[in-house]
Amino acid sequence: MTSDPYVGEVLLIHLPGTKRPRFRWIVKKREDKRYIVRAPKIGVKISNLTRKRDNDFGKETLLPFGVKPRSHTQKRRKHI
């Protein structure tokens, strides 16, 4: 299996059924090209997510098909 640039990173991921992207730690990638991720627990500061401490994140979950990680946020234009 080839290495993926997203594995081991904490990124914003737009999940189906949600309006806003969510932070997820991408742990590994399966053979069928689906990601296994961990969500941060409630109360963990966003600035501390890059430390990737085991007790700051919950259990491993599988992302659905078609979900692609986003490495940056999109800035919205303000409507006047």
Record the pTM: 0.78
pLDDT at 4: 82
User: Where exactly are the structural domains of the chain?
Assistant: 10-70
CB 31 within 8 A of CB 1: yes
How far is the C-alpha of 38 from the C-alpha of 45, rounded, in Å? Answer: 15
Q: Average pLDDT of 51-56?
A: 91
Q: In what order do the strands lie in the sheet with 22-29?
A: 57-62, 35-40, 22-29, 10-13, 69-70
Query: Distance from first CA to last CA of the chain, Å, rounded?
Result: 49
